Each structure stands twice: as structure tokens, then as C-alpha cells.
Amino acid sequence: MTTVRTIHSSERCCNETWEQAFTRFETPSQEVAKFHGRLSWFGVEDWPQDAEIVELFCGRGNGLIALAELGFTRLTGVDLSGDLLAQYTGDAQTYVCDARDLSLESNSQDIAIVQGGLHHLPNLPQDLERSICEAKRILRPAGMMVIVEPWDTPFLRMVHAASASPMRRLWDKLDAFQVLYENEQQTYDNWRARPQEILGILDKHFNAHRQRTAWGKLFYLGTPKP
């Protein structure tokens, strides 16, 4: 690894309200269970156990915990929020760093995973291009890029309609969802409005092997294009 770039707190993407709602939205064990389900869909059972895996935008690191529970040991986590990263208690190496400017060596990782981070990027499409190029740079040629991000499906539109209504008061998770939305609305709406542009950037850098949109999410697994 090269030197870690520590981000000044003023560069954080998410405010305290957002981080509190994020904690309220799902318990760590619910989040870990969710990640197990996703990893299974991506074929994690076939991934080599000695794979070097980096989770970008890893937040509290529950994706890393799910990977460790599956037996992976060569794990790295990257997030812009030192506060969220400080909540992680596992054995992975973690870095407070910007996914648009990674302090990891080129060709050093077998798998890069992003779950719900790219839609926080403030400046699309440039920031997405930078982050995807950085992920590709740190991946080995036969590596894999795994992405799960919000996607504007009918289900997601229905959830937004419910959370914007008084129904949110009936279910704490729905209320937390609405608070998250209100605090990331600008980047989130910008992300949701650009499906073709986003898929175009992924297609420019990766060959898609698994891709689907369901339940308000894009699920994507690609290998780097030469």
C-alpha cells in the first residue's frame, strides 16, 4: 500500500443528520444479512478465498464483516467518513480516503465492491468516471468490479411516494429512509436521472457479466476492459 490520504472533515460527503438516519435505517446485523444475500447473487461461492478484496465507500464496514464471515481475509475498506469507519471493528485494513483519488497501488486488488456509494458523488458524470477509472486502476486485469446502487425502478418510486407521505411516521425505517433522502437528495436525484449515462461509463471500462435492475437497485458485475 502507498501512503494514506486522510481527508479533512470539511470534505465529508454526509452530515451528522444523515449519519444518524443511516444508523437508524438498518441495524448492523440486518445490513450484514443483506450483504450476504447480495454477495450470493454475485456468485461469491466461486470467488477464491485468497482474493484481495477492497470495499469502496464501505461506511461502517458491514460489507467487510459479511466478507470475513464468508472466509475472506485479505480485505481493505475505504470511506470518506472517519466517523463511520471508526464504527468498524473487524480486521480489514481501512483507509479514510476519497474513492475518486485512491491511495491504493495499481493492479493490487482482485475484486472491488461498491454498495450504495457512487450515488453520493457530487459531480456527475465526471466523478463517476474518476471513481470507475480509479477502481479499474487498482484492479488486476482479471479482476472484478461489483456494484450495487439505487436504480429508478417502479418499486423505488413507490417507496419514495410512501416515505414522502404521513405513512413515514408509522415505520421508523421509512422515516429514516426519508431523512436519508432529504439529506442526499441532490446527488441521489442526479444519479437516478442518468441511467444511460451511468451504464455507458460502466460499459466503457468493464465487460458486464452479471447485471440486473430490481427492487430499486442496479446489480452489476464486470471485468476490466483492456
Ligand X SMILES: C[S@@+](CC[C@H](N)C(=O)[O-])C[C@H]1O[C@@H](n2cnc3c(N)ncnc32)[C@H](O)[C@@H]1O
State the nearest-atom distance from the C-beta of 191 to ligand X, in Å.
11
4 lies in the binding site for ligand X (CB under 6 A): no
Q: Is 100 in the site for ligand X (CB under 6 A)?
A: yes
Stretch that binds ligand X, among 76-84, 138-146, 154-162, 192-200 (CB under 6 A): 76-84
Residue 149 is a binding residue for ligand X (CB under 6 A): no
Report the C-alpha gap between 102 and 195 in whole angstroms.
25
Residue (10 or 169) nearer to ligand X, CB: 10
Mapping DSSP onto H, E and C, the string for the chain reads: CCCCCCCCHHHCCCCHHHHHHHHHHCCHHHHHHHHHHHHHHCCHHHCCCCCEEEEECCCCCHHHHHHHHCCCCEEEEEECCHHHHCCCCCCCEEEECCCCCCCCCCCCEEEEEEECCHHHCCCCCHHHHHHHHHHHHHEEEEEEEEEEEECCCHHHHHHHHHHCCHHHHHCHHHHHHHHHHHHHHHHHHHHHCCHHHHHHHHHHHEEEEEEEEECCEEEEEEEECC
Which residue has the closest beta carbon to ligand X? 59
Residue 117 sits in the site that holds ligand X (CB under 6 A) = yes
- Residue 218 sits in the site that holds ligand X (CB under 6 A): no
Residue 132 binds ligand X (CB under 6 A): no
Size of the site for ligand X (CB under 6 A): 20
Grid cell digits, residue 69? 464471515
**Residue 116 interacts with ligand X (CB under 6 A): yes or no:** yes
133 touches ligand X (CB under 6 A) = no
Which range, of 44-52, 116-124, 158-166, 188-196, touches ligand X by CB under 6 A? 116-124
CA pair distance 124, 127, nearest whole angstrom: 5
Q: Does 135 bind ligand X (CB under 6 A)?
A: no
Q: Which position among 57, 72, 181, 220 is part of the footprint of ligand X (CB under 6 A)? A: 57
The answer to whether 39 contacts ligand X (rule: CB under 6 A) is no
Query: Residue 13 or residue 133: which is nearer to ligand X going by CB?
Result: 13
Residues making contact with ligand X (CB under 6 A): 13-14, 31, 57-59, 62-63, 78-81, 84, 98-100, 115-117, 120
